[in-house]
Structure 1
Amino acid sequence: MRSMHIFLLCVLGAAMLSAVFGNNSVGPEDCCFKHYPRKLNPRIIQSYYVTDSRCPIMGVILVTKKNNHICANPTFSWVERIMKTLDESIL
């Protein structure tokens, strides 16, 4: 009976360690899972950044002046114009 307790304790310890190591994975911080469907006013956008290539869908995260993060499709013409305008304002 005593050896059964030790065995169960070892199994429990191994399960807890695997859960801890499993949570330390390295992956992308921000991903888009759905794009915002409507056109945004370019004057409310402060900055943008492109999502990581490991994300499920390609996206651009537009950051508004109120610090809201909105996922947009980078192939849309209105998103391209916003990105171009912001890039030119930096130079």
Structure 2
Amino acid sequence: MPFSEWITAKKEEEEHHHHHHPFADTIMKTLCFSLGLLLIVCCCDGAIPNALRNITPRNCCFNFYKGSLPLNVVSDIIKTHSSCQYKAFIVRTIRGNKICYSQTFPWAKNVFNKLHKTEDSIQSS
């Protein structure tokens, strides 16, 4: 039997024995979609915490620095998340260090008010 006839015979045999089930197609499509979605979630999982890093309780403070810093080394100051056990400020220095201060520490309160003065005045008007 020539190869081309064998291929044709094989196709006819498969079509004869293969019963088409619409329900099976639906199950396969659902399974493929679910696996694809799972793959996307697993691949993107690392990016989500980075986007939420500044608003999640990971940036909580438990030890507080009690000295003041020169203002020219402070690049930013933020409040810790409201779900943290202790209310604190996190001061970021121009070198990228993060230092925790209690929200009751006068120096930190003054720096926060100075750096966030424009935002507060915009919100209050």
Decide: shared fold, TM above 0.5: yes
SS of 1:29's equivalent in the other structure is helix
SS of 2:109's equivalent in the other structure is helix
The structure with higher relative contact order (CA 8 Å, sep 6+) is 1
Q: Map 1:1-80 onto structure 2 (within 5 A).
A: 28-80=57-109
1:89 Cα deviation after fit? 6.5
- What's the TM-score, normalizing by structure 2? 0.46
RMSD of the TM alignment (CA)?
1.9
Q: Which has the higher helix share?
A: 2
1:66 Cα deviation after fit? 0.5
- What's the TM-score, normalizing by structure 1? 0.62
Q: Distance in 1 between matches of 2:85 and 2:113?
A: 24
Q: Distance in 2 between matches of 1:33 and 1:87?
A: 24
Q: Distance in 1 between matches of 2:89 and 2:95?
A: 17
Q: Distance in 2 between matches of 1:44 and 1:52?
A: 23
Q: Distance in 1 between matches of 2:71 and 2:80?
A: 20
| Corresponding residue pairs, total | 65
Q: Distance in 2 between matches of 1:89 and 1:45?
A: 17
Runs of 4+ residues over 6 Å off in structure 1: none
Gaps of 5+ in 2: 1-55
In percent, how many aligned pairs have the same letter?
28
Gaps of 5+ in 1: 1-26
Q: Distance in 1 between matches of 2:116 and 2:82?
A: 21
Matching residue of 1:6: none
